Amino acid sequence: MELGKNLENALNEQIREELASAYIYLSMAAYLETMNLPGFAHWMQKQSDEEMEHAMKFYAHINERGGRVVLQAIEQPPIDFEGPTDIFEQALKHEQYISSRIIDLYKLAEKEGEYASFSVLQWFVDEQVEEEESATEVLEYLRLIGDKGQGLLMLDRQLAQR
């Protein structure tokens, strides 16, 4: 049983989205480094690494199912932000976007009877719940403490532990 062409194309698009996510988070990390917030930057670097792993999980699945991986161009990520709160608001919004794409992939697999893809896609559904929760947690702390002061430095130290 081979991977259907429609799902193969959609999974290739998702590889692009995951690689773009890694690039976005790495850009956020670079910006946070310029703010002298190494803990926040570390958190975003780890997030970038996770997105690369996600891309490779889709890559492996396409190959395991007899499909063909076709890499697509990714855009330059944003480079300027308004501070840590802005970054985490954008990160949460981005994770919600990725979650909607994963749900669409799941629906497509169901519509096309691609049952062999369900376990991989279910892993991603569960992972996105985690991703949104993680970004929300940091964002809620930032909304409480703001983008300046001792609270920010304490949170920076906490995020360095990720």
pLDDT, tens digit (0-9, with 9 covering 90-100), for 100-114: 999 999 999 999 999
pLDDT in tens, 56-115: 999 999 999 999 999 999 999 999 999 999 999 999 999 999 999 999 999 999 999 999
Pair 27, 142: CB distance under 8 Å: no
Considering the entire predicted model, what is its pTM?
A: 0.96
Q: How confident is the model at residue 1 (pLDDT cuts 50, 70, 90)?
A: low
Contacts 24+ apart (CB under 8 A), 108-114: 108/6, 108/7, 108/10, 109/7, 112/4, 112/6, 112/7, 114/3, 114/4, 114/7
Predicted pLDDT of residue 11 = 98
- The 8-class DSSP code of residue 36 comes to T
The dihedral region occupied by 75, where left means phi > 0, alpha psi between -120 and 50, and beta the remainder, is beta
The full set of domains in the chain, from first to last, is 5-159 (1.20.1260.10)
The DSSP line for 90-136 is: HHHHHHHHHHHHHHHHHHHHHHTT-GGGHHHHHHHHHHHHHHHHHHH
128-137 pLDDT per residue, tens: 999 999 999 9
Distance (Å, whole) CA 6 – CA 23 = 26
Are 40 and 34 in contact, with CB atoms under 8 Å apart?
Answer: no
- CA 138, distance to chain mean position in Å, is 15
| Non-local CB neighbours of 139 within 8 Å, separated by 6+ positions | 85, 88, 89, 91, 92
> What is the structure's pLDDT at 2?
80
pLDDT digits (tens, 9 = 90+) for 12-42: 999 999 999 999 999 999 999 999 999 999 9
Are 64 and 116 contacting, i.e. CB atoms less than 8 angstroms apart? no
> How far is the C-alpha of 48 from the C-alpha of 54, rounded, in Å?
10
